[in-house]
Amino acid sequence: MSILSHDEITRLTPQERLALIEQLWDSLDETALPLPASQQTELASRLDTLEQDRTRAVNWEQLQALMAQRCP
């Protein structure tokens, strides 16, 4: 495996750097990186809130539409 130096990375185009980031991200094994306790607590809290009132939940398409309105 060839490791890129900092200089080599900075010479990459933004698109090449994004592709590299994506490759690195996709190579991570989810089970090898457990959630920190703070994130587990936050996730449990959000799931509890959802279970208490599902009327506030939105699906993926609704969320995308909301985000498009807020961040055109």
Per-residue pLDDT tens digits for 3-50: 999 999 999 999 999 999 999 999 998 888 888 999 999 999 999 999
Four-point Cα dihedral 28, 1, 12, 20, nearest 10: -20
Give the Å distances, CA to CA, from 8 to 15, 17, 20, 22: 14, 10, 12, 17
pTM: 0.49
Task: Spell out the domain ranges in the chain.
Answer: 6-70
Question: DSSP for the chain?
Answer: -PPPPHHHHHHS-HHHHHHHHHHHHHHS-GGGSPPPHHHHHHHHHHHHHHHH-GGG---HHHHHHHHHHH--
